Amino acid sequence: MNRIGKRYVPFMKAGVQTLIAYRLNFFGFVIGGLIYCIVMFYLWKAVYDSAGGDSFLGFTMTEMVVYLFLANTTTQLTYSTVSGDIGDEIKDGSISMRMIKPVDMDWSYLFTELGAAFMKVVVLLIPVTVGLEIYRYCMLGEVMFRPLNFLLYFLSVILAYIISFRVNLCFGFVAFYVKNLWGFNILKNSIINFLSGSLIPLAFMPDVMRTILEYMPFASMGYTPVMIYMGKYSAYETAFRLGIQIVWAAVMFGISKLIWIGAVKKLSVQGG
């Protein structure tokens, strides 16, 4: 295990190096997300003001704010760039260099990205959580932070990331068949954003739709952890939702392995 770890850690180092080289991009991404949250905040505030009540579809304004920031943070934490990265590596041919090394493709991509994931926990998750808890304290006058919920949230985020990574890996492998994935990727991201509830809480959707979406992998990629953090699930339901996440992680793992077997036969790298 130690040996295996050592073999993939270099990919993580390289990932962090790239991140540092392109740190402006990274912070642009983070700050863009926060600006988006602030805009959404005023939007929802207008909705709440015009609705006139304390609560709207089971969410108080305070909860809505927590949801908004946390959903955005969670989406960023679980966001995987691997599909785009694979596409780029195929286009410039550097994927060859990955293939001539005695490593599994999926693990090497995972580790390349993990550095960025740790970075996001430090610069995004921790500040946002602290900020939200101060906000909740100011609004409600009591400490709402539940360490157990936070731990379960974190566990759920890890599962969400695994699912998101695997889904993106599958999309990335499709680039072996289709050369230009740019438009495809944008479409994919919008669909995931909507179906995972990071745009609008799934709780706001019609019952039938919500139930279906809650069972789909998309909810597992963002909605589930946020609801766990907010304490919207009972103990039983939390366990159930985590179970669904585990099932999806396993399913996507299997599917990505299968697609790889087919895709590798289709790979065509140009040049040298």
Ligand X SMILES: Nc1ncnc2c1ncn2[C@@H]1O[C@H](COP(=O)(O)OP(=O)(O)O)[C@@H](O)[C@H]1O
Interface residue list for ligand X (CB under 6 A): 268-270
Binding track over 176-205 against another protein, x by CB under 8 A = ---x--------------------------
Q: For the residues of 103-166, what is the DSSP string, one character each?
A: S-HHHHHHHHHHHHHHHHIIIIIHHHHHHHHHHHHHHHSS----HHHHHHHHHHHHHHHHHHHH
Between 40 and 95, CB nearer to ligand X: 95
Q: For helices 126-140 and 61-78, what crossing angle results, to 10°?
A: 170
- Which member of 23, 45, 101, 146 binds another protein (CB under 8 A)? 101
Which positions ≥6 away from 190 have C-beta within 8 Å?
none
Please identify, among the stretches 102-110, 138-146, 148-156, 219-227, the one whose residues bind another protein according to the rule CB under 8 A.
102-110
Q: Which of ligand X, another protein, none has residue 209 at its interface (CB below 5 to 8 Å by kind)?
A: none
Of residues 10, 16, 189, the one with CA closest to residue 115: 16
Residue closer to ligand X, measured from CB, 5 or 93: 93
CA distance 156 to 70: 13
Residue 270 beta carbon to ligand X: minimum distance, rounded to whole angstroms: 4
Stretch that binds another protein, among 47-55, 92-100, 199-207, 232-240 (CB under 8 A): 92-100
Residue 48 or 260 with smaller CB distance to another protein: 260
In whole angstroms, the minimum distance from the beta carbon of 261 to ligand X comes to 20
The pair of structure tokens assigned to 166 is 């695997």
Q: What are phi and psi of 52, to 5 degrees?
A: 80, -20
Binding region for another protein (CB under 8 A): 3, 6-7, 9-10, 13-14, 17-18, 21, 93-94, 96-97, 99-104, 179, 264-269, 271-272
